[in-house]
Amino acid sequence: MATVQVSEAEKVYILHGIRDDLRVDGRGCEDYRHMEIETDVVSNTDGSAKVTLGHTAVLVGVKAEIGKPRPMIPNEGYLEFFVDCSANATPEFEGRGGEELGTNLSNVLYKVFSNKHSLDLHSLSISPGEHCWVLYVDVLLLQCDGNLYDAISIAIKAALFNTKIPRVNITSDDEGGKEIELSDDPYDCMRVNVENVPCIVTLCKVGHRHVVDATLQEKACSVASLIIAVTHNGTITCSRKVGGGSLDPESIFEMTETGKRVGKALHAPLMKLLQQEESLSKKRVRVGFLC
């Protein structure tokens, strides 16, 4: 993780500001930084999205491929996550450092989606026991300026919303063998229902309070954070303490409460934006990587 240095006096200044609900950049404790979201940004994917949050920038690509269902769950497809922390984002990612962070992030993503409702995996089944859709979700960190989890989860939800899986038909020949046939119409696509895809909220404990969307400076003043993945109806699909310190039970309960409230509130504006973008479709000037 990219780290910054903060002197003792700066720390005191940041701590007192958070106590008074006025952070260094003028935000309150539960405010996010300015966020920009765009989907369909790379062409060689079935769905993609780019999210910037402050100076943090994340790119997610989704590719749908046909695979074999897992033996224990023959009538479902599955998701694979990979997070790449290239040295592009910060020199600290060079070598092992980036690899470790990438594994941690993707492990959390598997946990977030390891339940029956986050994504309807039945809809990814093609023929039970034989073929299913595998969605490869590749996350690329372009720039790190704190709060990676939240930005990544929003980018994944947007990219899945944007994903168009080609329709396939299964035909059986005379000898009983089965064949997969791709639809001729390129617009004949299946969409993924993202209604229940959770958003992750990272709560950073600074002094006696906690903040959302912490900057790197604020993170440097914190001993521990709680990440919490919340669906639009407030179900928690993953929670985890991260960081070297410990938290007392009461603050965990308070942070869970804030996390649920904030996480729930993220979904409506996100869905509204994604629908708005789709309705504009071709009329809109794409920005891509130019900003």
Partner 1 sequence: SMAVDMRLPTVKKTMTLSAPAVYRKDLVVPGDVITSDTGFMRGHGTYVDDDKLTASVAGKVQRVDKLICVRPLKTRFNGEVGDVVVGRITEVQQKRWKVDTNSRLDSVLLLSSVNLPGGELRRRSAEDELTMRKYIQEGDLISAEVQSVFSDGALSLHTRSLKYGKLGQGVLVQISPSLIKRQKTHFHNLPCGASIILGNNGFVWLYPTLGQQDEEAGGFYTSLEPVSLPDREVISRLRNCLLALAAQKVLLYDTSVLYCYESSLQHQVKDILKPEVMEEIVMLTQQKLLAQEG
Partner 2 sequence: MPTDTKRVRGPDVSQSPVLLGYKPAAVLASRGPREDGRQRDQVDVRPVFVRCGLVSQAKGSAYIEAGNTKLISCVYGPRETDRKDETDMKSGRLTTDVRFAPFSCPERVPWIQGSQDKDLSLMLHESLQPAVCLQRYPRSQIDVSVMVLENSGSALAHAVTCASLALADAGIEMYDLVLGCSLQQVGSSYVVDPSYLEENGWRCNSSESRGGLTVAFLPSLNQISGLQSDGEMSEETLTAGVRTCIEGCYKLYPVIQKVLTKAVRRAAPPST
Residue 148's CB is within 10 A of a number of other CB atoms, namely: 24
Question: Which of partner 2, partner 1, none sits in contact with 23, Cβ below 5 to 8 A by type?
Answer: partner 1
Q: Which residue, 67 or 243, is less far from partner 2 as judged by CB?
A: 243
Q: Which residue, 41 or 89, is less far from partner 1 as judged by CB?
A: 41
Region from 30-38, 157-165, 184-192, 253-261 binding partner 2, contact rule CB under 8 A: 253-261
Integer Cα distance of 15 and 33 in angstroms: 19
Q: Is 193 near partner 2 (CB under 8 A)?
A: no
What distance lies between CA 117 and its chain's CA centroid? 16
Query: In 3D, which of 58, 74, 62 has the Cα closest to residue 191?
Result: 62
Q: Is 257 near partner 2 (CB under 8 A)?
A: yes
Q: Is 8 near partner 1 (CB under 8 A)?
A: yes
Q: Is 116 near partner 2 (CB under 8 A)?
A: yes
Q: Is 245 near partner 2 (CB under 8 A)?
A: yes
Angle at which helices 148-162 and 96-112 cross, to 10°: 60
* Strand-pair partners of 61: 48, 138
What distance lies between CA 126 and its chain's CA centroid? 26
Burial (CB count within 10 angstroms: exposed 0-12, middle 13-18, buried 19+), residue 171:
exposed
Question: Which of partner 1, partner 2, none sits in contact with 9, Cβ below 5 to 8 A by type?
Answer: partner 1
Enumerate residues 20-49 that contact partner 1 by CB under 8 A. Answer: 20, 22-28, 30-38
Q: Which residue, 49 or 194, is less far from partner 2 as judged by CB?
A: 194
Q: Minimum CB separation from partner 1 for residue 129, in Å?
A: 41
